[in-house]
Amino acid sequence: MARWEPDAAGRLQQAALELYAERGYEETTVAEIAGRAGLTERTYFRHFADKREVLFHGAERLQEAIAEAVWQAPADVPPLDAVAHGLRRITPFFDERRPDSRRRHAIIRSSPELQERELMKRGSLVTALTAVLARRGAAPATAALAAESGVSVFHLAYERWIEDAADRSYAAHVDETLASLRALAVSPAAVA
Amino acid sequence: MARWEPDAAGRLQQAALELYAERGYEETTVAEIAGRAGLTERTYFRHFADKREVLFHGAERLQEAIAEAVWQAPADVPPLDAVAHGLRRITPFFDERRPDSRRRHAIIRSSPELQERELMKRGSLVTALTAVLARRGAAPATAALAAESGVSVFHLAYERWIEDAADRSYAAHVDETLASLRALAVSPAAVA
């Protein structure tokens, strides 16, 4: 008797964000999330394996979107700039969701288990970007380093965007973080 | 009747590296590791919480050694160079253990669970280095970015050092990786 539930995953995620923020991540049950969304536990488990996964809904799609945009950067764009190009392209995705992202960020900070999952997602983004930069023709070592650095920019720009009292766009934070990285890296090697 | 076991942790780690390499990580039991080291399971669990932890013996000490060396870099050394200074200082620790490090690396690659633990250790090194760079006077955003980039250098230099058929020292790979990062970062921003 499985009924079609319009955007069940999105509704479950919204309900989870609300409940985790109100009561705490540890204290909330899947039954409560499903109830708040007007759905059953069974429907929940059709979409998410556990309590953690609901917070990472869309993360794979986001990763694919970044990788695709990096792939589509003009061929003569160097690796790190290609990554920045990819990050700028996902700006609308982030900027539309800032209040939810802020709630989600606070919840993830509250739980080592969730931080672990977030680190795994970062690792998987590094792997995906290394592959796409290599496909664009970068040498393996360069691709790996540009992917690592690009994901650092992704992550730090995200944190600044979350905390930005002036609500400037994600793209602005990507540009600033990339500029900081360039400034940091050009400083002379003063130690023998 | 607990006897004093000279370097029990080191012997257990050595036994674990041998058995994980011979039989596979999943297939090896704590009882077998303790047996190979000539120790009891009880002694094993006095040193390590589980099967994973034995592979990360010394990781905390290593992290402290890096942070301490970063702290001791001359005061006028910029953040990323201070991290490189810290990484060069741990070269003897790595270079003395290359055969074990190669075995360990292959074992960790064989298991998503171990890769997850390794990513957590990286995250914890970023946190430690961010703190020490801030103590050295870097602005928070700069400290975070230099710590992220420094840990990328740490990690990629380690992978190249593991794979280096010419067995060059870890410090040489740190210098090369840092030079690659500088080259990557100075490339002009060609994308609007």
Looking at residue B187, its pLDDT comes to: 58
pLDDT band at residue B4, thresholds of 50, 70 and 90? low
| All residues at 6 or more sequence positions from B83 whose CB lies less than 8 Å from its CB, including other chains | B70, B129, B133, B146, B147, B149, B150, B153, B154
Closest CA–CA distance from residue A18 to any residue of chain B (Å):
28
**Chain B residues inside the 8 Å CB shell of A123:** 115, 119
Looking at residue B108, its pLDDT comes to: 95
Rounded CA-CA distance B86/B132 in Å is 11
Length of chain B: 192
A166–B contact, CB cutoff 8 A: no
Q: In the predicted model, is pLDDT for residue B133 greater than 90?
A: yes
**Chain A residues inside the 8 Å CB shell of B191:** 73-74, 77, 81-82, 84-85, 88
Q: In the predicted model, is pLDDT for residue B190 greater than 80?
A: no
Task: Specify whether the CB–CB gap between B62 and B122 falls below 8 A.
Answer: no
Query: What stretch of H or E contains B21?
Result: helix B8-23
Name which of B36-45, B61-70, B110-119, B173-182 the model is least confident about: B110-119
B84, B115, B141 member nearest A180 (Cβ): B141
Cβ within 8 Å, pair A80-B160: no
B79–A contact, CB cutoff 8 A: yes
C-alpha neighbours within 13 Å on the C-beta side of residue A89:
19
Tokens of A176: 């600033």
Task: Specify whether the CB–CB gap between B187 and A186 falls below 8 A.
Answer: no
Query: What percent of chain B is modeled with pLDDT above 70?
Result: 94
Residue of A nearest to B156 (CA): A145
Residue of A nearest to B139 (CA): A180
In chain B, residues 138-157 whose CB comes closer than 8 Å to chain A? 141-142, 144-146, 148-149, 152, 155-156
A113–B contact, CB cutoff 8 A: no
A88, A123, A186 member nearest B185 (Cβ): A186
Query: Over the stretch A146-184, which tens digit does the pLDDT of each residue have?
Result: 999 999 999 999 999 999 999 999 999 999 999 999 999
Q: How many C-beta atoms surround the C-beta of residue B41 within 10 A?
A: 14
**Three-class SS state of A73:** coil
H helices, E strands: number in chain A: 10, 0
Gyration radius from chain B CA atoms: 19
Task: Specify whether the CB–CB gap between B40 and B56 falls below 8 A.
Answer: no
Looking at residue B79, its pLDDT comes to: 96
Task: Specify whether the CB–CB gap between A9 and A53 falls below 8 A.
Answer: no
Question: Which residue do the tokens 């991540």 mark?
Answer: A25
* Residues in chain A where the model's pLDDT stays below 70: 1-5, 187-192
B68 CA to centre of own chain: 15
Task: Specify whether the CB–CB gap between B185 and A182 falls below 8 A.
Answer: yes
B172–A contact, CB cutoff 8 A: no
* Cα–Cα separations (whole angstroms), residue B24 to A55, B18, B28: 33, 10, 6
Query: What stretch of H or E contains A124?
Result: helix A112-135
C-alpha neighbours within 13 Å on the C-beta side of residue B109:
9
10 Å CB burial of residue A92 (0-12, 13-18, 19+) is exposed
B77, B142, B177 member nearest A184 (Cβ): B142
* Cα–Cα separations (whole angstroms), residue A76 to A11, A51, A81, A84: 42, 44, 10, 14
pLDDT band at residue B12, thresholds of 50, 70 and 90? very high
Cβ within 8 Å, pair B191-A77: yes
Rounded CA-CA distance B3/B101 in Å is 30
Tell me the domains of chain A and their CATH numbers: 8-54 (1.10.10.60), 58-185 (1.10.357.10)
